[in-house]
């Protein structure tokens, strides 16, 4: 089975690391939102060993259609959570979408 995966890079503000991890970890706020939708597989949170402010999230879905259905159905919740988290980082950048 091919999964739809997307990866984001985040530069976390100094002093905000613990709060960032609360939201972006595999059991964090984002994953809890994703788990409400059919087709969500998992989230991974990776911390750069050389730069403690640099993190990557890897979100996996059964298909791009499942992800797009989630974004449509949960658009308001997604936007609200995004606003809560926007003060945690100095930058966030999509690294791409991938098939496994």
Per the structure block, which two tokens stand in for 38? 């059919």
Per the structure block, which two tokens stand in for 50? 């050389």
What is the domain range of residue 63? 4-99
Using one digit for the tens of pLDDT, what is the confidence trace for 67-94? Answer: 999 999 999 999 999 999 999 999 999 9
How many domains does one find in the chain? 1
Give the residue from 2, 26, 18, 86 showing the smallest Cα distance to 52: 18
- Residue 100, pLDDT score: 86
pTM confidence score: 0.93
Using one digit for the tens of pLDDT, what is the confidence trace for 11-66? Answer: 999 999 999 999 999 999 999 999 999 999 999 999 999 999 999 999 999 999 99
* CATH code for position 16: 3.30.70.100
């Amino acid at each position: 089975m091919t999964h739809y995966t997307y990866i984001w890079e985040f530069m976390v503000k100094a002093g905000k690391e613990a709060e960032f991890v609360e939201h972006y970890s595999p059991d964090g706020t984002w994953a809890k939102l994703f788990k409400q939708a059919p087709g969500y597989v998992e989230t991974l949170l990776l911390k750069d060993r050389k730069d403690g402010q640099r993190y990557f999230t890897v979100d996996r879905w059964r298909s791009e259609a499942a992800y797009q259905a989630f974004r449509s159905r949960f658009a308001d919740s997604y936007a609200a959570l995004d606003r809560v988290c926007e003060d945690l980082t100095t930058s966030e950048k999509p690294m791409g979408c991938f098939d496994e």
